Amino acid sequence: MSDVDLSIIIPARNNKVKNASIIEMIADETRSFNVEFIVIDLNSTDGGVLDALDMMKSSNLKGTVIQCGNDTVSTALNTGINRSKGKYITFVYPTRLYKNYINDYMKGAEEKKAEFVFAVPSSNDTGHKDLIPDGIKGTDIVVRLIRSSIYMDFTAVLFQREFLLKNNIRFYEECTLGYAEAFIYNSLLNNPVIACVDMEIERDYVNSLIKGSNSGASNNCFERLDAMIKVAENARLLYKDDTVLNEAFEYQKLPAVIVNCIDKLLDEGFNKTSIRKLLKNKGYEDYMKISGSTDDDLKKKVVEWKFMPWLYR
């Protein structure tokens, strides 16, 4: 049995000097745990991964670098899961770092024997703490995420490794946008034991890689839609009689993602006629459904797009 408490998986592609500083920062934060660092190199050419490896060796840190070529970040993260040995796993995204949260997550995981950990502050005005009672089901969290009654940062979560392996939860490898969101939803659909840590996590802009300097980013917003369609199908397969859950996907989540794609394409200069043709050809129009449970703003956008496109935006 492994003695590693936590596996920290870091996808890296031309992260320059950030790799070493990120690992050094997290190592300093997690000194009370037996931690391993798994850096998945996505064909970097700037030498940053070698710097990280040298730093881990010189600091006597447990870690490895795995070459993943030109694969997607999703593939890299799955590779990290497969190679990990920790009781718990977390993913660190160089473009979206947070300060000093891992210790609190680990404490929450151990106290609750949790399989899924995320942060929810009780001190803000939304009253989130009251909305997430102990013992809440993952499917209930999914519905509340879809309805925006709670917020979760998909890049600051912690998992029990055995939970992921037992339920064969993996990132969609063909997906380059929305893969973390889909992974979280699929995890929650397997109803893990949940720990909500009472804290407000703070972004670390100093150590984060500036978004856009990583050339592997994708602008295909419909990949997120394709991923969420798969998640919705998974929800229906697992809980065919859960009307609330399935209708949340059908009448809120999927049309909301489509509207988001439409807005992004309009911002990029695409005209409405070409967007409508694209939606029709790909069959996405079939997912633009609304009901009495659809929130008013989304309902208005869907109706305008489908029946009065000249009024849209």
Average pLDDT over residues 219-236: 92
- pLDDT of residue 214 exceeding 50, the answer is no
**What span, in angstroms and rounded, lies between the C-alpha atoms of 167 and 164?**
5
For residue 127, what pLDDT is reported?
47
Beta-bridge partners for 119:
197
Handedness of CA 163, 166, 167, 172 (dihedral sign): positive
Does this model's pTM top 0.85? yes
What are the pLDDT digits (tens) for 130-143?
A: 567 888 999 999 99
Q: What band does 216 get if pLDDT is binned at 50, 70 and 90?
A: very low
Q: What band does 187 get if pLDDT is binned at 50, 70 and 90?
A: very high
Give Rg (Cα) of the chain.
20
% of the chain residues with pLDDT over 90: 64
**What span, in angstroms and rounded, lies between the C-alpha atoms of 149 and 290?**
19
What are the pLDDT digits (tens) for 102-113?
A: 999 999 999 999
Q: Which helix (H) or strand (E) holds 34?
A: none
What are the pLDDT digits (tens) for 250-293?
A: 999 999 999 999 999 999 999 999 999 999 999 999 999 999 99
List b or e across 149-172, with b for residues whose CB sees 16 or more CB atoms inside 10 angstroms: ebebebbbbbbbbebbeeeebbbb
Residues 6+ apart with CB under 8 A from 27: 35, 37, 59, 61
**What span, in angstroms and rounded, lies between the C-alpha atoms of 29 and 50?**
22
Q: What band does 121 get if pLDDT is binned at 50, 70 and 90?
A: confident
For residue 51, what pLDDT is reported?
80
Kindly state the tokens that stand for 118: 């995320």
**Whose CA is closest to 105, among 203, 198, 4, 7?**
198
Helices (H), 113-221: 128-131, 138-146, 161-166, 179-189
Q: What is the dihedral of CA 215, 221, 222, 223, to 10 degrees?
A: 40
**Whose CA is closest to 245, among 171, 185, 159, 181?**
185
